[in-house]
Structure 1
Amino acid sequence: MNDSRFNSLIPPQPEVLIDIARLLKAENPDLTHIATLIKSDVALYSVVLKSINSPYYGLRVSVTSIEHAISLLGLDQIYNLVRLTILRNTLKKTGRMERFWDTAKDVSQLSLSVARKLRLHLNKDDIYTLGMLHDCGLPLMIQAFSGFREFLQSSPGFNVTELAKQERDSFGFSHYQVGARMAERWNLPQHVADAIRLQPQLDDVLADKVDTDEKTRHLLAVLALAQDISSEYRYYWRIQSAQQLEQLQPALRFLSTTDYDYLTLKERLIEEMA
């Protein structure tokens, strides 16, 4: 792997995020200073407030200030939201990729629904973040390599393991590696970064053949089901083949979910999204 080329793909964190992270390390973080930093970027401020008032957070009151949001959600959750918002805005600068972000949003929402329906005790922010950023290396690869978009268009039938291999052979590294490195550089939880990196090794991860933690395994299993539902819900009347269902067996076994229960859940979620 060409480390210098690899590292050059990762955009640096903006100063506002670095400053907030520094303030959070203090024994008694200065809430007023943190709120002022967020409000100093008008676009960021408006997007954060809009997100806080979305159904995702389920707040019963309308939040009109960052100070109010911090009092309701806490500093850690506000920092996670700010970081994800800035990261998404940074990646969007790589070009027009509306379908990419539509898919990411679908997968993140479906991941939350799958975890909730299966009554999994996972961190909600981790689930949503992985759903949004599981393929975040793609826009960075498209920006870095002029032929990468055409490469993707010529390889729609690859599974993730084969895709990662073809990417490494053609470009020196895979978009999963790039996405994981970005997650680490931007100080996302290590288990989220590991989940991004280990997607091509899903079966081995869930079979405990790869050294990682249970959070990563659960996140990957949920992601696999969410991606399957996302890839098919627009084609609701297409019959799923046994081979496709067979590919999900490692995730279903890991989550102690039967084929029947999963297909019932899948049908219900597709109906909700229609």
Structure 2
Amino acid sequence: MADLVMSQEEERMMGQLMIPSQPTVLRAIAAETDNEHGDLARVARLVSEDVSISGGILLVVNSPLFRRRREIGSIREAVMLLGLKRVYSVARTVALRNALSHLPRMHEFWKSSVTLAEACGGAARLLKRPDLVDDAYLLGLFHLVGVPALRSVLGEAYETVERQADLSGWQSSVHEEQRRYGVSHDRLGALITQRWRAPTSVIQATAHQYQVARLDRLVTLHPDAPDLLVMLKLALRATAAVDPARMTYADWETTQDLLADYLALDVQSLDGLVEELA
């Protein structure tokens, strides 16, 4: 499936962000994952040698996302429990988060994003897509990362858009960003995850996160992308109190019927799913 193609302005913006390449340890884990005889013990050693990734993996594996009855204290145990593919998925998420730590005001961004990411993982289970839990988590964590990215490049010039988003929600800012800067945070977030070889479904759901009315088109870009986008919207509604600008009441009003139709539910049943996630 085709990658997103950058416009000249997007290419210029990505160049200014100075996002590092994937670390060596992540590439080594990917190589083991692609090998049909991948060595879990070697992966455990690789992860243990990188303090930031190993610490992040333990935080994630002990989060509500994994529903462990007891805390996992060793990387070897975490790797054995997760398996190669899932270790790579979690390691990539942790490493990308570390790579973006230089962007401004990231502490508050991650605080609300982690809550949302866990709700996205919960939505994957509610919709009976446990195979998408990791991708849903990744989408929830990074779908809005284009905002701090734009803030880091544009500085004070971006404050007007941020103030407007605080009042009307981030969905309302996309056209204004495009008009002012030639880029928008949804596209930029997708390009950032694409650079780190995130799953195509996550990239496309990020790029089209405000296009719930076009889920039929999204399925042609990746069959899992529509489900992921629906999970994101349910999680956004369930966690609206954490960051109201991510999903305003007006945004929900315009999307809930579309989501209900996609899931073949009535609106009351849809609200029931949201309550289970909250």
| Residue in structure 1 matched with residue 113 of structure 2 by the alignment | 104
| Residue in structure 2 matched with residue 93 of structure 1 by the alignment | 102
| Residue in structure 1 matched with residue 213 of structure 2 by the alignment | 203
Which digits, 9 at most, give the CA deviation of each residue in 1:133-164, with x for residues without a partner?
11122221111111224421234345655422
1:248 aligns with 2:256: yes
Q: Take 1:225 and 1:32, find their aligned partners in 2: how far apart are those partners?
A: 38
Q: Take 2:158 and 2:48, find their aligned partners in 1: how far apart are those partners?
A: 37
Indicate conservation of the 8 Å contact 2:219/2:225, yes or no. Answer: no
Indicate conservation of the 8 Å contact 1:160/1:199, yes or no. Answer: no
Number of matched residues? 264
| Residue in structure 2 matched with residue 15 of structure 1 by the alignment | 24
Indicate conservation of the 8 Å contact 1:13/1:186, yes or no. Answer: yes
Q: CA deviation at 1:99?
A: 3.1
Which digits, 9 at most, give the CA deviation of each residue in 1:141-191, with x for residues without a partner?
111111224421234345655422211111221111111112111111101
Residue of structure 1 aligned with 2:237, choices 205, 218, 228:
228
Q: Which moved more, 1:171-180 or 1:15-24?
A: 15-24
Indicate conservation of the 8 Å contact 2:122/2:133, yes or no. Answer: no
TM-score by length of 1: 0.83
| Residue in structure 2 matched with residue 35 of structure 1 by the alignment | 44
Residue of structure 1 aligned with 2:86, choices 77, 82, 99:
77
What's the RMSD between the two structures over aligned residues? 2.7
The equivalences for 1:1-274 within 5 A come to 1-8=8-15, 9=17, 11=19, 12-60=21-69, 62-120=71-129, 122-146=131-155, 147-158=157-168, 162-204=172-214, 206-208=215-217, 211-232=220-241, 244-270=252-278
Greater C-alpha radius of gyration: 1
Q: Take 1:86 and 1:233, find their aligned partners in 2: how far apart are those partners?
A: 25
Amino acid at match of 1:92: S
Q: Take 1:96 and 1:222, find their aligned partners in 2: how far apart are those partners?
A: 26
Indicate conservation of the 8 Å contact 1:164/1:174, yes or no. Answer: yes
Indicate conservation of the 8 Å contact 2:212/2:229, yes or no. Answer: yes
Q: Which moved more, 1:208-217 or 1:223-232?
A: 208-217
Q: Specify whether residues 20 and 268 from structure 1 end up closer, same or farther in structure 2 by C-alpha distance, changes over 3 A only.
A: closer
Q: Take 2:42 and 2:122, find their aligned partners in 1: how far apart are those partners?
A: 36
Identity of aligned residues (%): 27
Q: Specify whether residues 170 and 209 from structure 1 end up closer, same or farther in structure 2 by C-alpha distance, changes over 3 A only.
A: same
Amino acid at match of 1:148: Y
Gaps of 5+ in 2: 1-7
Amino acid at match of 2:113: A
Gaps of 5+ in 1: none
